[in-house]
Amino acid sequence: MREIARKLGISTSTVSRAFSKPEMVRPELCERILEMARELDYKPNPIARAMVLGQSDLIGLVVPDITNPFFPAIVRGVEDEARKHGLNLIVCNSDGHVAKEKQYLHSLHDLTVAGVIVASASRRDAYVAELAAGIPVVVMDRRLSGSLVSQVNADNYSGSKAVVDHLAGLGHRKLLYLSGPPRISTTEDRLRGFRDQCRLHNIDFNVVRAGFGIDDGYEAMKQVESKMDGTTGVVCANDLCAFGVLARLAEVGIPVPGRISVTGFDDIAFARIFSPSLTTVRQPTYEMGRRAVKAILDMRRGHAPRQPVVLPTELVVRDSTALRNISAEHSSATTL
Ligand code: RIB
């Protein structure tokens, strides 16, 4: 920067302003500065620029499991919208651990990012609210209590109810629910939707704590398969869990959907190419990412966090669900 200032006979602060606030520099001088920077192959240091401006052109995104295909779809929506507004993206993976999430949130704060989007590993919001006191924070996918942050979520409750309506329409009268990890709102909202709709349809059900991974579904199915008397449908809290259930049922020779119907939640890309293709609930992942960035831009313009954004979900019926097969229910060959 000093070399540019010396060659053009101007101050370094004028050179700095040409990059940070070009509207404050005469257009012809600004062009000469940028031309000289290209000649000298000069690029402003983003960290130094952030120190000067008190805010960088970076958005921090913290997700709980980068290996779950659900989250990269969100990252895509965040990235596309951020780049439209000249912002870049730092993606952090908390592995669903609160301590790791906190550490990333503090590091992002120290980097003076323009804003933080977090799919939180826990419903506890104190540390997120504390961060929000300093920079725009949007909680996405999972809800948090507290009003200091903007929220962008999907309608998990209605999505879960739609699954039960679908299975009730197929004549199912007893279901097993494999729930997600504890203390996060998507687990709680889906379980509540499942329970409420089963009670509405007078459907008998059992609930087993599983998780959001393939192994969680596989192991949970293995634990309960001998205690499934009369159960004809397994409702899973997300797609990866449902894939684990399908793998175990295939392993023990239980036909899906001939004997047991299986559903997921998310509609990740594999859901439609799996065999059988998975009946599931489509989440508006790309749109969630986009809306989260828009909420940050809103707060950067001085607007207070708006009302939570709740985007609709959509039931997608595929080959893993079918009419309840009463004859197969009690035949010894297929009794779980
Ligand atoms: O599949 C991962 C789950 O965690 C998704 O259903 C998403 O909603 C998140 O809560």
**Distance of alpha carbon 229 from the chain centroid:** 35
- For residue 70, report the distance from its CA to the centre of ligand 1, in Å: 7
CB-based contacts of 276: which residues, under 8 Å, 6+ apart? Answer: 246, 256, 257, 318, 319, 320
What does DSSP assign to residue 182? Answer: T
Query: What number does the ligand 1 atom closest to the CA of 142 have?
Result: 10
CATH code, 156-282+317-327: 3.40.50.2300
CB 267 less than 6 A from any atom of ligand 1? no
- For residue 238, report the distance from its CA to the centre of ligand 1, in Å: 6
Q: How far is CA 217 from CA 227, 238, 321, in A?
A: 16, 9, 17
275 is written with which tokens? 């065999």
Architecture of domain 54-154+284-312: 3-Layer(aba) Sandwich (3.40)
CB 265 less than 6 A from any atom of ligand 1? yes
114 is written with which tokens? 């323009």
CB 238 less than 6 A from any atom of ligand 1? yes
On whether the pTM is more than 0.85, the answer is no
**Which residue has its alpha carbon closest to ligand 1 atom 10?**
186
Query: What number does the ligand 1 atom closest to the CA of 156 have?
Result: 8
Q: Do β-strands 309-311 and 280-282 pair in parallel, antiparallel, or remain unpaired? A: unpaired
Helical (H) or strand (E) element with 327? helix 326-329
Return d(Cα 330, Cα 130) in angstroms, integer: 56
Query: What number does the ligand 1 atom closest to the CA of 266 have?
Result: 6
pLDDT tens digits, residue range 147-177? Answer: 667 899 999 999 999 999 999 999 999 999 9
CB 189 less than 6 A from any atom of ligand 1? no
Return d(Cα 190, Cα 312) in angstroms, integer: 14
201: left (phi over 0), alpha (psi -120 to 50) or beta: alpha
290 is written with which tokens? 């986009």
Domain boundaries, the chain: 2-44, 54-154+284-312, 156-282+317-327
101 is written with which tokens? 């999430």
More confident residue, 197 or 6: 197
pLDDT tens digits, residue range 17-44? Answer: 787 677 788 888 888 888 888 888 887 6
Ligand 1: which of 120, 122, 141 to mutate, judged by most atoms within 8 Å of the beta carbon? 141
Architecture of domain 2-44: Orthogonal Bundle (1.10)
Does residue 332 surpass a pLDDT of 50?
A: no
249 is written with which tokens? 């049922």
Return d(Cα 311, Cα 118) in angstroms, integer: 17
Average pLDDT over residues 215-237: 94
The answer to whether the 54-154+284-312 and 156-282+317-327 domains have the same CATH topology is yes
pLDDT tens digits, residue range 117-137? Answer: 999 877 766 777 777 777 899
What secondary structure does DSSP assign to 197-208, as a single string?
HHHHTT-EEEEE
Return d(Cα 119, Cα 140) in angstroms, integer: 5
